Amino acid sequence: MSANTSTLEAKSREGSGKGVARRLRAEGLIPAVVYGKHLEKPVHISVDPKAVRQAINTPHKFNTLITIKVAGGDRQVLLKDYQMEPVTRAILHADFLDVRANEQVKVKVPIVLTGRAQGVADGGLLTQARREIEVWSLPAAIPERIEVDVTPMKITEVLHINDVKLPEGVSVKTNVNYTLAVISAPEAAEAGPAAAAAAAAPAKDAKAPAAAAKAPAKK
């Protein structure tokens, strides 16, 4: 089994509501649902919450491809969400997305900057605008992370999503060439991260609207 896959034992369940949930938790289980566009209706199952945590205890975390073993046939899924008790942090409910091996799925993947930028060596400040990006990928090919070498970047240079070479089979579907990182000039670096972030933002129109005139004082 590869580093981005795991298995999870599950049981089919009938019924829903607080009463069913309480009964399951008394047995050490929690209610869960598998949904997806290929399913006529959501599939209701019960799983061990500890096993759910173990299933995503991989470098891919939420992007781990999980094989749910349940009566009626195994299913490949991604864990999309779970509800957690705020004090004990125990998992109370889990939602899984049914996926197909030959169809791309939309997921969020960490973006990691590597190397020491030339602009930083020259005194600039490197600011990373996004820590993760939304990509489309076949379930078994979802990357653990996407690394970008920023070594060639110089002061005032900006790294955009279109500058990133994505792994084979992975794509980004967006009409906006958004910013991932920027190296601000030394003057902005001295002013702190806020100034660097401002440097990455699109320039505002120089013709700002005039301030509204104050209302005349009442006599």
CATH number of the domain that 27 lies in? 2.40.240.10
**pTM (predicted TM-score):** 0.77
Q: Do residues 67 and 75 touch, judged by C-beta distance below 8 A?
A: yes
Do 155 and 119 share a structural domain?
yes
| pLDDT at residue 215 greater than cutoff 50 | no
User: Pick from 65, 98, 131: which residue ends a domain?
Assistant: 98
| pLDDT at residue 188 greater than cutoff 60 | no
Number of continuous H segments (helices) and E segments (strands) in the chain: 5, 12
206 phi and psi, to 5 degrees? -65, -25
Do 34 and 10 share a structural domain?
yes
Domain of 111? 105-200
How many folded domains does the chain comprise? 2
63 phi and psi, to 5 degrees? -90, 15
Q: Do residues 109 and 126 touch, judged by C-beta distance below 8 A?
A: no
Q: Using the 8-state DSSP alphabet, how is residue 148 labeled?
A: E
Q: Which of 205, 188, 187 is nearest to 197 (CA)?
A: 188
User: Pick from 63, 98, 133: which residue ends a domain?
Assistant: 98
Question: pLDDT class for 15, splitting at 50, 70, 90?
Answer: low
Do 78 and 12 share a structural domain?
yes
Do 115 and 33 share a structural domain?
no
User: Pick from 58, 81, 98: which residue ends a domain?
Assistant: 98
Q: Which of 207, 105, 195, 130 is nearest to 156 (CA)?
A: 195
177 to 85, 116, 155, 192: CA distances (angstroms): 39, 24, 20, 25
Q: Report pLDDT for 4.
A: 82
Tally Cβ neighbours within 10 Å of residue 213: 6
Position 207 in a domain: no
Question: pLDDT class for 25, splitting at 50, 70, 90?
Answer: confident
Position 219 in a domain: no
Query: What sign does the CA torsion over 99, 82, 90, 32 have?
Result: negative
Do 31 and 79 share a structural domain?
yes
Position 27 in a domain: yes
| pLDDT at residue 112 greater than cutoff 50 | yes
Question: pLDDT class for 3, splitting at 50, 70, 90?
Answer: low
CATH of the domain at 165: 2.170.120.20
Do 118 and 94 share a structural domain?
no
